[in-house]
């Protein structure tokens, strides 16, 4: 009967054209607590969680473009961001493993850490605006980005923004002590913060492709988990 009910829900999905999924992007500054949030929903609900491919950015064929970028952004910014763009695109288009196992009557849900949009609108923009990315590198990355968003479907139903102060991120960054990030100064986190605020709060810089849910994220772990629980419905029922 289990097989029968699985088949029934699959045929329902196909019949109603309900292969639509709900896609949530989790956005926020460096060390804003995205990983903790993803782990929480990954453990407590039946959703597909995709973390940022940061392991790949630290090791591609034995090279470390993330570390190189922090040491010499002008030389290696394009290298890192080209690879970030590729790996994020791969996440956006990857098929969902749990499609047929989704709970009856609900579309499968995917939660992604950051997006190809924030890679461009926040990190590439920051490198360029701070004078660390040559104009030609910025132009080439922009052409790639524009081509991708025009020609490839990158779905999103909700953007969850973990809003922190740059000071909080700086403290968390120092605590976690990731080798490549030891050189990050407070000003870097301030610039990333301002770009995020302009994009998702003031909506004055770039196109915002979905509604934004803001979660204040300066609190300690206990309060953060409580807030995630309080917002569970709002986050997970985003395309209902
Ligand atoms: N990064 C970058 N360019 C991008 C995206 C990320 O240079 N387009 C850098 C910033 C960080 C590293 O990659 O040094 C990893 O990103 P996060 O700090 O955002 O990822 P975490 O997993 O550390 O996030 P959190 O601490 O919120 O869980």
pLDDT in the model for residue 218:
98
3-state secondary structure of 55: helix
Ligand 1 pocket, 77 CB below 6 A? no
Q: How far is the CA of 157 from the centre of ligand 1 (A)?
A: 22
Query: What b/e sequence results for 170-196 when a residue is b if at least 16 CB atoms lie within 10 Å of its CB, and e otherwise?
Result: bebbeeeeeebbeebeeebbbbbbbbb
pLDDT of amino acid 14: 38
β-strands 212-216, 48-50: how paired? unpaired
Assembly ipTM:
0.92
pLDDT of residue 177: 87
Does the CB atom of residue 124 touch ligand 1 within 6 A? Answer: no
Q: Dihedrals φ, ψ of 28, to 5°?
A: 165, 165
pLDDT in tens, 182-230: 999 999 999 999 999 999 999 998 999 999 999 999 999 999 999 999 9
Residue nearest to atom 25 of ligand 1 (CA): 31
Domain range summary for the chain, segments of one domain joined by +? 19-236
19-236 CATH choice from 3.40.50.20, 3.40.50.1860, 3.40.50.300, 3.50.50.60: 3.40.50.300
How far does residue 30's CA lie from ligand 1's centre (Å)? 5
Q: What is the pTM of this model?
A: 0.88
For the stretch 46-56, pLDDT in tens is 899 998 899 99
């Amino acid at each position: 009967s289990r097989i029968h009910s699985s088949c029934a829900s699959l045929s329902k999905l196909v019949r109603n054209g309900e292969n639509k999924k709900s896609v949530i992007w989790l956005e926020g500054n460096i060390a804003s607590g995205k990983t903790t949030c993803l782990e929480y929903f990954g453990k407590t609900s039946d959703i597909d969680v995709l973390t940022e491919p940061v392991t790949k950015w630290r090791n591609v064929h034995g090279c470390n473009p993330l570390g190189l970028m922090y040491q010499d952004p002008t030389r290696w910014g394009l290298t890192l961001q080209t690879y970030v763009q590729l790996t994020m695109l791969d996440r956006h288009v990857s098929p969902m493993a749990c499609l047929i196992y989704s709970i009856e009557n609900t579309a499968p849900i995917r939660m992604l850490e950051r997006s190809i949009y924030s890679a461009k609108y926040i990190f590439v923009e920051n490198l360029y605006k701070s004078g660390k990315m040559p104009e030609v590198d910025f132009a080439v990355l922009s052409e790639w980005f524009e081509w991708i968003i025009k020609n490839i479907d990158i779905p999103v139903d909700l953007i969850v923004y973990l809003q922190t102060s740059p000071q909080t991120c700086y403290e968390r960054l120092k605590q976690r002590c990731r080798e490549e990030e030891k050189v990050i100064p407070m000003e870097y986190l301030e610039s990333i913060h301002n770009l995020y605020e302009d994009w998702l709060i003031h909506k004055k810089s770039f196109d915002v492709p979905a509604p934004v849910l803001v979660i204040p994220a300066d609190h300690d772990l206990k309060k953060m988990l409580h807030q995630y629980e309080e917002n569970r419905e709002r986050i997970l029922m985003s395309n209902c």
